[in-house]
Chain A
Amino acid sequence: MIKESYSVTEENQLLKAALDGDKKAFGEIVTRYQKMVARTVKGMLGDSVFAEDIGQEVFIKLYYSLSEFRGEAKLSTYIQKIAVNLTLNEIKRRKRFFSMFSQKGNNEMYEFEVADHDTEERKEASEIVNKALMAMDPKFRIIVTMRMLQGYSTKETAEILDLPLGTVLSRLSRAQEQLRNILEKL
C-alpha cells in the first residue's frame, strides 16, 4: 500500500486523544504517517540525516498545530502540506548557504545513502531514482515526488501544493521532459 488511509472516526479519536496530551495516540499517528513523510522529505532532500531532522520537525509542528486542524481536509493531506513546506524551506535555506559559502553544484547540496541490505539490482534502481530526483529543479522535483513516490493524482497534488490544476499539469509535462534528459545521461 502506498497511500495511507484510515477510517475518519478512528482518526478523529486518535486526534482527540493526541490533543488531550495522550503520548500513545500521537505515537500512533507518527507510526501511521512516517513512511509518507519519509517519501516526501527524502525524495526532496535525499536520504540523509538532515532529512531525518526535517521529518522530526514535521511531526513536532503537527503536534503543536493539532488544535488548528479542523478536519476539512484529510489528516494525511494536512501532514503532507507541513512536510512540503518544511522541505521547500530547507531547500531554500541550503541554496542560500551554498551560494554564500560554497562553489558546490546543485547535486552536491544533497546526499543519499542506499540501504546495505538491498540487492545490487535494487540498490541500482534506488540510486537511479535518487540521482535523477536530485538533479531536478526543486519545483519539478516536488511534482515528481508527489506523483511518482506518493502516487497522488494531479488533483491531489494541486491541493497539497496549493497550485492551480493547470499549473500542476504543465509542470508535470515539463518535469517529465527534464527527467527524460537527466535519465539519458545516467
Chain B
Amino acid sequence: MKPSEIKKLIISSLSADADPKEASMRLEEEGISYDFSKGFGDKILDKLFSAGLTINREVEFVRSMNFAFYRIALTGVAAIVVLLISIFLMQGSLSFNSFLGLSDSYDESIVCLLTGN
C-alpha cells in the first residue's frame, strides 16, 4: 500500500461511522503490528516467581517471629502468676504494700531505715 493510501486509511479509521475492527485489521495486514520481543512472557514469569520465593521467605520469617513472641509472652505471663501466688502466700494479701514487701512494716521503721536514726 502506498503512503498516501495508508494516510487515507488512518484518517478514515477514525470516522465515527467507520468499522474500527476492519480498519485495524487492514492496518495490521499492512505491517502496522506490535508485539514484544521474544522471551517476554518468560521474563515476566521469572520476575514474578523468583520474587514469590523472597516473599515466601519473608512470610516464613514473620511466622517464626510471631511464634517466638507468643512463647516468650506465655512464659512471662506464667512467671507473673507464680510471683503473685508466692506474694500472696508470703504476705497474705495482694495489696500494693505486699508487692513492695512493706505490708508488715510501720511508717516509723521505714523512716528509721531510710534516715538511719
Q: Which residues of A contact B (CB under 8 A)?
A: 2-3, 21, 23, 26-27, 30-31, 34-35, 37-39, 42-43, 47, 52, 55-56, 59-60, 63, 118-119, 121-126, 128-129, 132, 144, 147-154, 169, 172-173, 175-176, 179-180, 183, 186
Contact = CB atoms under 8 A, between A and B. Distances in A.
Interface in B13-39: 13-16, 20-25, 27-28, 30-37
Contact of A128 (B3, B13, B48, B49): B3
Contacts of B35: 34-35, 38
Contacts of B111: none
Interface residues of B, number: 35
B58 to A, nearest CB: 15
Contacts of A26: 45, 48
Interface residue SS majority, chain A? helix
Contacts of A151: 20-25
Considering residues B16, B21, B22, B36, which has the most beta carbons from chain A within 10 angstroms of its beta carbon?
A: B36
A154 B20 CA distance: 9
B20 A23 contact: no
B37 to A, nearest CB: 6
B96 interface: no
Interface of B: 1, 3, 6-7, 10-11, 13-16, 20-25, 27-28, 30-37, 40-41, 43-45, 47-49, 52
B14 A129 contact: no
Given A60-B44, A129-B6, 13 more contacts: A3-B21, A27-B45, A34-B40, A39-B33, A52-B37, A55-B36, A123-B31, A125-B27, A126-B31, A129-B10, A148-B10, A179-B10, A183-B7
Contact of B36 (A3, A34, A173): A34
Contacts of B44: 30, 56, 59-60
A17 B78 CA distance: 46
A24 to B, nearest CB: 9
Contacts of A60: 44, 47-48
Contacts of B1: 121, 125
Contacts of A183: 7, 10-11
Contacts of B27: 125, 129, 148-149
A154 to B, nearest CB: 7
Given A43-B34, A129-B6, A153 B20 contact: yes
A82 to B, nearest CB: 13
Contacts of B25: 2, 151
